[in-house]
Structure 1
Amino acid sequence: MSEEIKVWGIHTYDDNLFLKENVIAIGWNEMGDLSLIEKDREAFKAKYTEVYKDAKKGSIPTCAGMLYRFVNEAKVGDYVVFPSKSNREVNIGQITGEYRYDAEEHDYVQKRDVKWFKHFKRTFFSQGALYEIGAAQSFFLVKNYADEFLSALEKDFKNSFDKELAENDVIAETADEIEQATRDYVLKALFTNFKGYPLENFVANLLEAMGYKTTVSKQGGDNGIDIIAYKDELPPRILVQVKSQNKDISETVVQSFKGAMLNGDYGLFVTLSDYTPNAKIFLEKNPIIKGINGYELVDLIIKYYDKLNEKYQKVIPLKRVYIPVSV
């Protein structure tokens, strides 16, 4: 692929707009005419923050970056890949016009003219290529499989579905990327929505989903014990401490938690971050305490997601899907 020519991916809810009017477009109507913003990423972030005052901090660079790329980085002559949902096809075209603001449009006011070349059934492309254009962002750069989409425009392009069966390593790598993206999303949702005491109640509900009986301590804690859990009516008792801080948990903090335990107790320390090296060594030497870091907590959430309280599922909305794996 030429270094100058790029391949972009885009999503929309209005397939007809794209295919019948020969355009690609994005929304964010409140941003107005994007050509009036200085051609600088920081300027786009500043404008986005000004317009969307309630936007989550982590979403600002992502959304502002998409807008900036659509206006300033995508060039006439670049290619665009658009997976249409209405007919389950992959449409490939080329950008033919500079950015323009369409004030008369209701939803998608930020536009670029395109010429659509070909329309393919999804099975013409490898699974990895389909995963890449299934990105969560509205407008994004196609990197890993750009050459495959460009090759589709050649006369001798052949259906690559059969070849895909031999691409187990690519499939596995792509599946891992999807799983990691999901884990990142869940961890960010925990940091955003469950700071402090709310995380204690969430962890208690997760433990109940795992089959434990729990009691959450009153706010203020009970000697550092946030939750008391039992597998059934009989011992052992499991004492749980929960931390939602960004900073890694030190050995001193874990030692203090152990000091609150009585003979016969087991401990569970849950953090959204991780443990310092010394804290990990301490946990290894004291196996009666199980330390769970942020990603380990996420793995448990995904495993027992269907049994979580509905109010928590609404905060962390996930859908069970099946993806191919290498065998």
Structure 2
Amino acid sequence: MFESASRLWVIHISNHQKIAARAQKEGFICVGWTRIGDLSPYDTPEKMRAAYERAFPQKSKASVSASFIQAYRFAHELRVGEPIVYPIKNSRNIMIGKITGDYEWSEDKELRELDYCNVRRVEWVLKDVPRVRFSQSALRSFGSFTSISLSDDHLDEVRGLLSGNGSRGKQPAPDLADDTLQTAETEESEEDAAIAAEEVIQFTKDHLVRSWSNTAQDFEEVVAAVFRALGYTATVQQGTRDLGVDVIAHADPLGVTPPILKIQAKSGVSTTGAPVVKQLRGTLNTGEKEILISLGGFTTDARHTEQNDANIILIDADRFVELFIRSYESLSADIRHRFPLRQVYVVAP
């Protein structure tokens, strides 16, 4: 698919979760700037800039220059049949789609109220692709601050994933701090500063998850180290694969004070379903709890199983990274050497 394509578009859809969910389910992409009105008549960059300046007279020249061209691209440059990627906010997944419709001005009441009347129809051809399936370079490109942008250099990665031949990039981690913070310093709004901070956080999460993914015992050692840093005595288990228990942790050195934590650490990028959760649940005795850590996340059925059992705790990649970062200063020197982090300051929103 997309053999004849020469461009790869990236879309960032609404911070409003309900709009983003509708876009995924109903097959469309949308952007703001509703105050301009229907974008169709502004079919040159000059016309679009003038319309933007009339709609947003309070905006600085720099802000106008950065924004009007996005509106123009969305309405007039995207072509039916071209590929588009959508990094799902607050998720470790990316969707890949094909643009199937020309620009539309939507009269949908909810879209109008939430400032997302500019719409294009898409077919989502691949959903919930784990971020670690993409190279770090692609993820940085997909993390653009703009609502609509191009990422042509990574079109081959998308083709590879669609053909089933895609593989994760193995590039060294670039130094994000300099150019990300420079962007934050040159942007004028508090919202842009917050976006810059989110970009730093997302980059860190991507780098750590990529380092841990598909490493099996190495990831188990990381899990044990985090629980030790959180105050537990934690031991990586050997020879218990049939039981699914990778790490055992307890609050006291002797392991006699409940609850005893039986932990399974899954470093693969596939989602973990309810059968795996229930299998580990079957190993529990009185006074024991199950913790299942999955970098690939969990299915809806697995989450339902957790909700119905107080002895089950499911931890996805984002939550585990948060635990890792929160306990970082208390981690062993060996773990900190293997996964070095440094503190970065960004403008407070």
Aligned to 1:317: 348
> CA distance change for structure 1 residues 125 and 49 in 2, over 3 Å: closer, same or farther?
same
Contact 2:96/2:126 (CA < 8 Å) preserved in 1? yes
* 2:117 paired residue among 109, 112, 123: 109
Q: CA deviation at 1:57?
A: 1.2
Q: CA deviation at 1:46?
A: 0.6
* 1:90 paired residue among 66, 91, 94: 94
The equivalences for 1:129-144 within 5 A come to: 129-144=138-153
> CA distance change for structure 1 residues 7 and 187 in 2, over 3 Å: closer, same or farther?
closer
Aligned to 1:279: none
User: 2:44 & 2:91 partners in 1: Cα distance?
Assistant: 37
SS in 1 for 2:152: coil
> CA distance change for structure 1 residues 304 and 115 in 2, over 3 Å: closer, same or farther?
closer
Counterpart amino acid of residue 179 in structure 1: D
Structure 1 regions of 5+ residues with no counterpart?
191-302, 307-312, 319-327
Q: CA deviation at 1:179?
A: 2.0
Aligned to 1:198: none
> CA distance change for structure 1 residues 155 and 34 in 2, over 3 Å: closer, same or farther?
same
* 2:55 paired residue among 39, 44, 51: 51
User: 2:74 & 2:157 partners in 1: Cα distance?
Assistant: 22
Contact 1:71/1:99 (CA < 8 Å) preserved in 2? yes
* 1:67 paired residue among 71, 82, 98: 71
Number of corresponding residues? 187
> CA distance change for structure 1 residues 18 and 182 in 2, over 3 Å: closer, same or farther?
same
Counterpart amino acid of residue 61 in structure 1: S
* 2:38 paired residue among 16, 27, 33: 33
Aligned to 2:161: 152
* 1:22 paired residue among 12, 21, 27: 27
Show structure 1 runs of 4+ deviating over 6 A: 303-306
Counterpart amino acid of residue 100 in structure 2: T
- 1:77-119 residue CA offsets vs partner (Å, 9 max, x unmatched): 1100001124421100100000000022233110000000112
Q: Which has the larger radius of gyration?
A: 1
Aligned to 2:201: none
User: 2:124 & 2:188 partners in 1: Cα distance?
Assistant: 38
Q: Percent identity?
A: 26
User: 1:180 & 1:57 partners in 2: Cα distance?
Assistant: 22
Contact 1:5/1:77 (CA < 8 Å) preserved in 2? no
Aligned to 2:182: 183
Q: CA deviation at 1:152?
A: 1.2
Q: CA deviation at 1:317?
A: 3.2
Q: CA deviation at 1:140?
A: 0.6
Counterpart amino acid of residue 179 in structure 2: Q
SS in 1 for 2:119: strand
- 1:3-23 residue CA offsets vs partner (Å, 9 max, x unmatched): 754210011223212211100
**Structure 1-normalised TM-score?**
0.52
Q: CA deviation at 1:156?
A: 2.9
- In the alignment, structure 1 residue 76 sits paired with structure 2 residue 72: no
SS in 2 for 1:36: coil
SS in 2 for 1:91: strand
User: 1:124 & 1:58 partners in 2: Cα distance?
Assistant: 35
> CA distance change for structure 1 residues 87 and 98 in 2, over 3 Å: closer, same or farther?
same
> CA distance change for structure 1 residues 50 and 153 in 2, over 3 Å: closer, same or farther?
same
- 1:233-270 residue CA offsets vs partner (Å, 9 max, x unmatched): xxxxxxxxxxxxxxxxxxxxxxxxxxxxxxxxxxxxxx
User: 1:99 & 1:189 partners in 2: Cα distance?
Assistant: 30
Counterpart amino acid of residue 183 in structure 1: Q
